[in-house]
A = this chain, B = another copy of it.
Amino acid sequence: MRHPEPMSDQQPSQDAPEGLEPAKTGVSSRRIADYLRTAILNGELAPGTRLRQEEIAERLGSSRIPVREALRMVEADGLVVVKSYSGARVAKLDFNEFDTAYRIRERIDPLALTLSLEGITDEDVARLEALETEVEETTSPDRFVALDREFHLATYAGCTDKQLLETVTRFWNTTQHYRRAYAQLIDDRGRSIITYEHRLLIDAIHRRDPIDAERFLSGHIRRTRITLAEHPELFD
Residue ranges of A at the interface with B (Cβ–Cβ < 8 Å): 11, 26-27, 29, 65, 68-69, 72-73, 75-78, 84, 96-97, 100-101, 103-104, 107-108, 111, 115, 160-164, 167, 171, 174
Q: What's the least CB distance linking A68 to chain B, in Å?
A: 6
Complex Cα gap A73–B68 (Å): 11
Copies of this chain in the oligomer: 2
- Which listed residue, B73, B97, B100, B163, touches A97 by the CB 8 Å rule? B163
Which residues on B sit within 8 Å (CB–CB) of A77? 76
- Which listed residue, B11, B100, B101, touches A84 by the CB 8 Å rule? B11
Main secondary structure of the interface of A (DSSP, over half): helix
Q: What's the least CB distance linking A116 to chain B, in Å?
A: 12
List the B residue with the shortest CB-CB distance to A65: B65
- Which listed residue, B65, B78, B97, touches A161 by the CB 8 Å rule? B97
* Contact (A104, B163) CB under 8 Å given A11-B84, A27-B84, A84-B26: yes
Assuming A68-B69, A104-B111, what are 20 further A-B pairs, CB within 8 angstroms?
A: A11-B84, A27-B84, A29-B72, A69-B72, A72-B72, A72-B73, A73-B76, A76-B76, A76-B77, A78-B163, A96-B160, A97-B162, A100-B161, A101-B163, A103-B111, A104-B167, A107-B108, A107-B111, A108-B108, A163-B171
